[in-house]
Structure 1
Amino acid sequence: MEQILQKYYGFQEFRIGQRALIEYATQGQSSLGILPTGGGKSICYQVSGIALGGLTLVISPLISLMKDQVDALTAAGIKAAYLNSQQKAAESRAVEAGLLNGEYRFLYVAPERFEQNHFRNLLARLDIRLIAFDEAHCISKWGHDFRPSYRQVVGQVMHFGAPCMAVTATATVDVRNDIQTLLHIPDHYVVETSIKRENLAFNVDPTFQKDKMVRRYIKEHIQDSGIIYVSTRKQVEALGEQFSDYGIKHTIYHAGLPADTREQNQSDFVNDNCPVMIATNAFGMGIDKSNVRYVIHYNLPQDLESYYQEAGRAGRDGLPSECILLFSEQDIRLQQFFIGNTADESIQEKKKEKLEKMVQYTKTTQCLQGTLINYFNPAEHLEPCGRCTNCLKEADYDMTTEAKKLLSCLLRMKTAVSKSVLTKVIRGENFPHHDYSHLSTFGLMKEYESKDIHGFIDTLLFNGYVDEYEGKLSAHESAKDILFDEVKLMTHYHPVRYNERVTIHTLVEMDEMLFEKLKEVRKELAESMKIPPFTIFSDHTLTLFAQKQPISKQEMFQIEGVGAYKLKHYCPKFIEAIKRYQTPV
C-alpha cells in the first residue's frame, strides 16, 4: 500500500484512518470513513481501487467534484474518466468504449446517471471491484445536503457484489447510523477520526459593519486565495458589485448563473486566475483547491454541518488559514424563513434544533474548534485549540476553587453521571431513587445558579479535565493537576465581546520570491495540460521547494508530495527554475 501511496501521491505514510479503510476494502469489506476536510478521503478509495485492480465506480454528487478528481488522477498518471450530462454524445461514447476495453481504473458518475437503462446495462458488463460513495452525507435524509437521487442509487449498486466505501467529512450520530443501515456497515467497519484541524483558526465576529470588515480583510490578504459565503443570490451580486467599485479582483458563483458562466468562474478561481470567490452554498462541495487561505461566512449558516463543511475548505494544504463567521440577528430570521418552507414537519423540527446549535456556537465562550468537535463526536477528549477567538480572549475569572469542588464531587460519586445530576448534587438537591446526601461534597455549591455550574462544567470539559461519553461525565486523569494545585483554571465568567482578529502568516521561513516563480512554473504547466495548478503540486509542496531548494531528482524525491510519476513529468521544470534562480545571469 505504501508503494502505491509513494508512487502516485508522493507521501511516505498514511494519515490516521486511511490504512484501516484501505485494508477493509482490499479484504472485501464495506466501510464508512468520517475524516476531516483535507484529511485525504479520496486517497482511501483511490489507493484501494489501484490495489484491487479492475474498475472503481465513484458516485459523486457534483460534476465539479468529478472533473477535479479526474484531473488529479490524470496528473498522477492514473487512467480515469467521468460521465455526466455536460458531455457531448461523442465524448460519452468514447468513454464507454474505453470502459469496455478496460482502459480506465476509475469512473466518476452522478447519482442521476443511474436513471438511464443504457448506463445500468453498461455497468453490468464492467469489472467493478469497488464502489465509492463520495460526500456520503448526501445519502442520509438527516444530512445537510440530502439528495434523494443519491439515496435511491444504493439499492441499484448493492447487487454488484463489490465492497462499498462511503466517505464524508461531516456526519452527526444520526447521519452515521443512517448510512450504516443503508449500506449494511457494522460498527466495526466505521473509521471516524477527529475533525480537529491544527492549522485552522476559527473566529466569530458579530460586527454590524460586515462590508467594511470584509473589504479591509481582503486588502490585508491581497495575495491570498479565499471564499466568501453569503446566503442569497442577491447578496452575491450586491457584494460583487461593491468589490468591483473598490477594484477588488473577484468572481461570483450561484445557481442562478448560466451553467457556462458558473463553470468559467469556478475555473478562474481554481486555476488561480482570480483570488476571491463570492458564492452561495451552491459552490464548493468537492472543490479540491488546496491553497484557500481563508473562508469568510458573511451570513450565519443554517447548521454546524454546513458551516464546518464550508469553512473546512480553507487550508487543505496544511498551512495556517482562517475561518471567520460574521452574523447578525437578521441572519437568524432569514434561516428561520428558509426552514419554514420545508414541507416535512419532522425534518423541519430537526432543522430548527440544528439552527439553535448554530446560534449557540456564535455565543459560546468555550473553544470554537472544541465546540465543533463536541457537536460531531461528543465522546472525543477536548483541549483548547489556542487559536480561535475565544482561546485568544483573556479569561477574567479564576474558577480553580469551583473546579476542585466539582471534580471532587464527581470522583466521590464513583460513577459517570450527566451534567444535570452533577449540578443537582453539588447544589444539594436529592433524587427519588438516589441519596447522595452522605457525600461530603453534597450541597457544596448551593449558592450558585445552575446555569453558572453548567458553565463551570463546560469549561472543565473543553479544557480536557472532564470527558463525556453518551451524555455521562467522568474525570480525566489530568484532573489531578487541578486537585493538587499544579494548575490554575481561568474562565469567561461573564459574556464576552469578540473583537480580536488573528494575523495569519501563511508562508514562513522560505524564499518568497522563489515561491512566486515556482507558482508561475506550475501555472504554465497547468495551462499546457489544461488541468488546475494545485493538481500538479500543492502550495505546501511548493513551499518546501522554496525552503529546501532541491536541484536534483534525488533531492526532489525526498520532498512530501513528490511521487514517481510527478518526479519524471513535472520536476525537471521546477529544478530548472530553482537553478536559474540560484545563478541569475
Structure 2
Amino acid sequence: MSKLSPISNAIQTDAATVLKSVFGFDQFREGQKQVIEQVLSGRDALVLMPTGGGKSLCYQVPALIFPGITVVVSPLISLMKDQVDGLIASGVAATFINSSIPREQLLDIYRQLQDGHFKLLYVAPERLMQLDFIDRLHSLNVSLIAVDEAHCVSHWGHDFRQDYRLLGQLKRHFPNTPMMGLTATADIATRADISQQLALQSPFVFRSSFDRPNIRYNLLAKYKAVDQLIQYVKDQDGSGIVYCNSRAKVDELSVKLAKQGVRCAGYHAGLEPEIREKIQRDFIQDNIDVIVATVAFGMGINKSNVRFVVHFDLPRSIESYYQETGRAGRDGMPAEALLLFDEKDAARIRQWISMGENTERHDIELQKFAAMEAFAEAQTCRRQVLLNYFSEYSAAHCGNCDICVDPPKRFDGTQEAQKVLSCVYRLGQTVASQYVIDVLRGKNHKRIVEQQHDKISTHGIGKEKSDAYWHNIINQLIHQGLLRIDITQGATLKLTEAARPLLKSERQISLAVPRLALDTKKTRKSDKRYYDRALFAKLKHLRKTIAEQDEVPPFVVFSDASLADMAEQMPQSEQQFLAISGVGSTKLERYGERFLALISNHLNAPG
C-alpha cells in the first residue's frame, strides 16, 4: 500500500478534525473521505449515494477547509432552510438566498458575503443563473460549487427540470472551481448525462451502494385500501408520509385518518402556499405525525426521523419510489416502506403516460413504469429487484423485506384460475374484476339478476373464499399474462391467448397463496440495539422542548439515532457526551448540560 503524500495527510487530518469537532462523527462513511480528498485537490466529482447516506458531508466538510465560500445549488426553499438550520446548530456559518427573503435581509446577506462571513451559500438554480447573481459571485472567492439533486439536470432522469439545464454554463464562468454533482437516484444513462450536462471535467465518480438496509420493504395487494391504510398507520409509532396520486385522494385520506385519531394533515399543490408551508413546518417540528401528500411533498424535506412511508398508489418509476421511500429512516434507525398495489392502478397509469403531451418521453416513461410494475409483482427478494435496477447486482436475499421475512407459499392454482377464466368468458369479457368476483361468490345484486348472470354455471362456485382472495387471484392471473385489463372499456377483464390451454386443462399453473394482510409478528421492524426506551422517551421530550425554544426542527437538535445512543451509553460527563454520535463541540456547549442532567436524574430516580 502506497503512503499518503504530506498534502493528503494534511487533508485527512483537517477533514477528520472537522468531521468530529463540527458534526460529531468519529469516522467517515463509505466513500466520503475519497470524495473529499479528490475535491480538495481541485477535481470535479459526481457522487451517487442513497438518501441518508451522507452526501451533504461530501461538500460541507471541504467547505470548512477551503479558504473561500461553497455555493450549493438546491431545488427547494424548505430543503435549504432545513440544511442551513442544521449547519447553524453545529456552529457553521451558512445562509441561503431565495424568494422568501425580504429585500432588507437580502442586502444584509450580500454585505456579509462580501465580508467573507459565510462558508456555505445555498441558492436555487433559477436565482443562481441570473447574470447579475453570477457577477456578484465573481466578486467572491468561490472555492466549490455543489449541485444537489443533480438528476434534475438530465432528461433521462425521473425529475427533469428545465432550470437545471442552464447549470452547465457554470463551468464557463468558473473554469478553475471544482464542481460536484450529487444524487441518490440515477441509472447508468442518467449518470452519464449528468456529467455531460454539468460539463464536469474528468470527474471523480463515486457510487456507493444504493442499499438502505434499515428500511423494510413491504407490499400488500390493494383491497379495501382505506381500511388497510388506517390499520397500518395506527400500528405505527412516530412520523410517516402517505403518498397518493391525486389531490382528491389526499383530502379524503387525511380526513379519514384524522377521524381515527391520527395527528395528520393533507398536502398538495391545490392548497394556498402559506397553508402548505405551515403543514410542512408542523410535520418537521413533530407537531403532527403523518402527512398525506402528492409527490409534490417531500423532496425538500430534511427530516431525519421519518419512521415509515406508504405509497397508497403505484409510483411511475423505480427512481421515484426509491427516492420517496428513502425519506424514511435517514437517521439509520429502523424504518418501513409499504406499497399498496392494484393492477387496475397500473393500467390507468400506463394510459396516463400514453396520453401525455411530451411524446418524446413516452417510451422512456413507459419503460421506467414497466420496471416499477416488475418490482411490485416480484415473488423474490424485493431489495434484490430494487438494487438490480441500479446495476448493483446481489446474489444474497436481504432478510428485511416481506418476501424474505414471510415468503409466499405456492399451490397448484389450476382450479382457481379455471374458475376465474371461465367466469370472465361466460360474462362475455365485458365486466370489471369486482363484478366477476360478485358472480363467483354467488351475489344476487340487481344488475346480476337483471343480466341473468345468476343463472350461469360459474355463479357461486367461489363463495367459500373472500372478495380479497379472488381479487388477489385475478391480479396474479394478470401478472402471468392470462388476463388483461382493457382500460378503454371501463377496466373490463379480457382473456388472452395464453388462457386457452389452461381452460382446456392442457396445462397447470402455480399461484401464490394470497397474502391479505401483513403478518405484523414477522414483518414488524425491529431495532436490535438495546437502549433504555423510557430514557429515550424523556430525551425526545427534552429535545422537543429545546427545539420549540430555539425555533428549529427537533432533529436539528439531535437525531433519533443520537438519542438512542444516549439511551444506550448513558453518558455522565462532558467527555462521555462528546463521544455520542452526532455530538460536536458546539452541540456539547449548547445542549450538553441539560441532557446530562436528565440522564443523571433518570439513573438516580428511585425504583
Q: TM-score, normalised by structure 2?
A: 0.78
Which residue of structure 2 aligns with residue 180 of structure 1?
Answer: 195
State the aligned residue count. Answer: 491
- Note if 1:289 corresponds to 2:303: yes
Q: Which residue of 2 aligns with 1:268?
A: 282
d(CA) in 1 for partners of 2:74 and 2:355? 27
Residue 185 of structure 2 corresponds to residue 164 of structure 1: no
5+ long unaligned stretches in structure 1: 398-454, 456-491
Aligned to 2:90: 76
Whole-angstrom CA distance in 2 between matches of 1:162 and 1:186: 11
Against the structure 1 CA distance between its residues 214 and 508, is the aligned structure 2 distance closer, same or farther, given a 3 Å change threshold? Answer: farther
**Equivalent position of 1:192 in the other structure:** 207
Residue 407 of structure 2 aligns to which amino acid in structure 1?
E
- What's the offset of the Cα at 1:506? 4.8
Q: Which digits, 9 at most, give the CA deviation of each residue in 1:358-396, with x for residues without a partner?
A: 111111112101111000125x33321012111123366
Q: Distance in 2 between matches of 1:154 and 1:183?
A: 4
Matches within 5 A, 1:123-522: 123-160=137-174, 161-185=176-200, 189-221=204-236, 223-378=237-392, 380-394=393-407, 494-495=511-512, 497-498=514-515, 499-501=517-519, 502-506=523-527, 509-522=530-543
Residue identity opposite 1:393 in structure 2: D
What are the Cα deviations for residues 226-271 of structure 1, in whole angstroms up to 9, with x where unaligned?
Answer: 1111111111111111122222210221112111111111111111
Instruction: Give the Cα–Cα distance (whole angstroms) in 2 for the partners of residues 67 and 374 of structure 1.
Output: 35
Does the 8 A contact of 2:408 with 2:512 survive in 1? no
Residue 567 of structure 1, aligned match among 588, 592, 598 = 588
- SS of the residue corresponding to residue 81 of structure 1 reads strand
Aligned to 2:100: 86
What is aligned with 2:123? 109
Q: Give 2:572's aligned residue.
A: 551
Post-superposition offset of 1:334: 3.6
In the aligned structure 2, how far is the partner of 1:527 from the partner of 1:185? 42
Question: CA separation in 2, counterparts of 1:56 and 1:134?
Answer: 12
Separation in structure 2 between the aligned mates of residue 159 and residue 338 of structure 1, nearest angstrom: 41
Amino acid at match of 1:109: V
Q: Residue type matched to 2:197 in 1?
A: L
Q: 1:186 to 1:54 in 2, by over 3 A?
A: closer
> Structure 2: how far apart are the matches of 1:295 and 1:381?
24
Matched, 1:576 2:597: yes
CA displacement at 1:158 relative to structure 2: 4.0
Deviation for aligned residue 1:112: 1.1
CA RMSD of aligned residues (A): 2.1
1:579 and 1:4 map into 2 onto residues whose CA distance is 29
Structure exhibiting the larger radius of gyration computed from Cα positions: 2
SS of aligned partner of 1:570: helix
CA distance in 2, matches of 1:150, 1:186: 18
- Residues 331 and 561 of structure 2 are in contact (CA less than 8 Å); yes or no, is this contact kept in structure 1? yes
Structure 1 residue ranges (4+ consecutive) displaced by more than 6 angstroms after TM superposition: none
Which whole-Å CA distance do the structure 2 matches of 1:395 and 1:249 have between them? 34
Distance 1:88 1:37 in 2: 32
In 2, are the aligned partners of 1:319 and 1:507 still within 8 Å (CA)? no
Match of 2:110 in 1: 96
Provide the residue aligned with 2:555 in structure 1: 534
Please say if residues 409 and 512 of structure 2, whose CA atoms lie closer than 8 Å, have aligned partners that are also in contact: no
Residue-by-residue CA offset, 1:511-568 (whole Å, 9 max, x unaligned):
2221111112111221222111101110011011112211111111122111122112
| Structure 2 counterpart SS, 1:227 | strand
Task: Tell whether the 8 Å contact from 2:244 to 2:313 is kept in structure 1 after alignment.
Answer: yes
d(CA) in 2 for partners of 1:543, 1:288: 19
Alpha-carbon spacing, 1:61–1:338, altered in 2? closer, same or farther (3 Å): farther
Find the counterpart in structure 2 of residue 427 from structure 1: none
Query: Which amino acid is the alignment partner of residue 134 of structure 1?
Result: D
Contact 2:268 2:294 in 1 (8 A): yes
Identity across the alignment (%): 39
Could you report, residue by residue, the CA deviation over 1:263-296 in whole angstroms, capped at 9, with x for unpaired residues? 1111111111111111111111141211111100
Structure 1 CA distance for aligned equivalents of residues 34 and 199 of structure 2: 18
CA gap of 1:247–1:551, structure 2 versus 1, over 3 A, is: same
Equivalent position of 2:427 in the other structure: none
The answer as to whether partners of 1:342 and 1:348 remain within 8 angstroms in 2 is yes
In structure 2, relative to structure 1, the CA distance for the partners of 1:55 and 1:174 (3 Å cut) is: same
Give the whole-Å Cα distance in 2 for the aligned partners of 1:395 and 1:513: 37
Paired residues of 1:550 and 1:556 also in contact (CA < 8 A): yes
Cα distance 1:281–1:396, how it changes in 2: closer, same or farther (>3 A)? closer
Unaligned runs of 5+ in 2: 1-14, 411-479, 481-508
Post-superposition offset of 1:495: 4.3
The Cα shift of 1:186 comes to 6.3
Does the 8 Å CA contact 1:55/1:130 hold for their aligned counterparts?
yes
Q: 1:293·1:506 contact (CA, 8 Å) conserved in 2?
A: no
